[in-house]
């Protein structure tokens, strides 16, 4: 194999729509992560892996369209929504500190207002994953088929969304596991009810983009990712991104894959 192909620079695009944090805030941490991942991987010399962060769906899609964007680090919702069109192939599944590699999503409504999925007709569903309606309808709420007229909107304003629900607006919220765990702390928690929870779903994935990365390099990087956190220095770098490590991907059968 050509040494040029083995050392060709690749870019890892971090994209986290729906969650707080600007690109400038995260960039130093993703730079450190890329350097650590390359150092842990065979045939990935220093400087051969760079990283870029974007907190928006469209910004992430634009960056992933670049020819050197060989890898993506994305939430599972993004993968379900865009994995087929981008030809994403998972190589590792992230383990988040305090959560592990999977989480349950919960649908929250005003207590007593919703009896079944059909009674959500005319409602608006708010979620950090609102940019990914395919994920919401066919993954997170697979067991609760939403009426076709439910509007799905993306929001980062969780508290105001829950206040709207408690006040009686025709609004529900789909929360990730961390957000759901915080519900009992709200002063109006008694006015809210979890209607249904998803099966355990991956939280985030590292995936190759199309055929931009040679299979041998992808396997080497996969092995490197799985070994991260074995040293104190790597564990510190992962901690900056609220990561604990990586495991082999476990993708539900309903996910859109190439």
Instruction: Give the whole-angstrom CA distance, residue 185 versus residue 87.
Output: 41
Q: Which of 206, 182, 205, 180 is nearest to 194 (CA)?
A: 180
Classify 140 in phi/psi space as left (phi over 0), alpha (psi -120 to 50) or beta.
Answer: alpha
So what CATH class is 105-197?
Answer: alpha beta
pLDDT attached to residue 20? 59
Which residue ranges in the chain fall short of pLDDT 50? 1-6, 256-258
Domains 3-100+202-247 and 105-197 share a fold: yes
247: left (phi over 0), alpha (psi -120 to 50) or beta: beta
* Buried-state track 190-225, b at ≥16 Cβ within 10 A, e below 16: ebbbebbbbeebbbbbbbbbeebbbeebbebbbebb
Taking the C-alpha atoms of 216, 257, 63 and 31 in order, what is their torsion angle to the nearest 10 degrees? -50
* Topology adopted by domain 3-100+202-247: D-Maltodextrin-Binding Protein; domain 2 (3.40.190)
| Predicted model pTM | 0.92
Number of CB atoms found within 10 A of residue 226's CB: 18
Residues in the chain: 258
First to last CA, the chain: 27
Residue 21 has a pLDDT of 55
Contact 34, 228 (CB under 8 A): no
Write down the domain spans for the chain. Answer: 3-100+202-247, 105-197
- Quote the radius of gyration of the chain (alpha carbons, Å): 19
* Token pair of 201 as six digits: 């779903």
């Amino acid at each position: 194999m050509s040494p040029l192909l083995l050392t060709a620079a690749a870019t890892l695009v971090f994209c986290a729509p729906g969650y707080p944090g600007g690109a400038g805030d995260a960039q130093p941490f993703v730079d450190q992560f890329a350097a650590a991942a390359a150092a842990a991987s065979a045939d990935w010399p220093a400087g051969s892996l760079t990283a870029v962060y974007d907190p928006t769906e469209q910004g992430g899609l634009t960056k992933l369209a670049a020819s050197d964007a060989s890898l993506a680090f994305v939430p599972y919702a993004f993968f379900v929504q865009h994995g087929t069109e981008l030809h994403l192939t998972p190589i590792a599944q992230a383990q988040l500190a305090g959560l592990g590699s999977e989480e349950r999503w919960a649908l929250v409504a005003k207590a007593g207002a919703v009896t079944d999925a059909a009674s959500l007709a005319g409602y608006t569903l708010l979620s950090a994953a609102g940019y990914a309606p395919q994920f919401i309808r066919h993954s997170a709420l697979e067991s609760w088929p939403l009426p076709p007229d439910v509007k799905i909107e993306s929001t980062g304003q969780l508290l105001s969304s829950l206040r709207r629900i408690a006040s009686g607006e025709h609004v529900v919220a789909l929360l990730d596991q961390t957000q759901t765990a915080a519900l009992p702390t709200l002063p109006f928690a008694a006015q809210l009810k979890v209607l249904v929870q998803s099966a355990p779903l991956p939280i985030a994935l590292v995936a190759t983009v199309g055929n931009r990365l040679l299979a041998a390099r992808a396997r080497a990087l996969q092995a490197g990712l799985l070994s991260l956190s074995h040293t104190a220095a790597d564990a510190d770098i992962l901690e900056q991104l609220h990561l604990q490590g990586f495991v082999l991907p476990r993708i539900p059968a309903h996910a859109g894959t190439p």
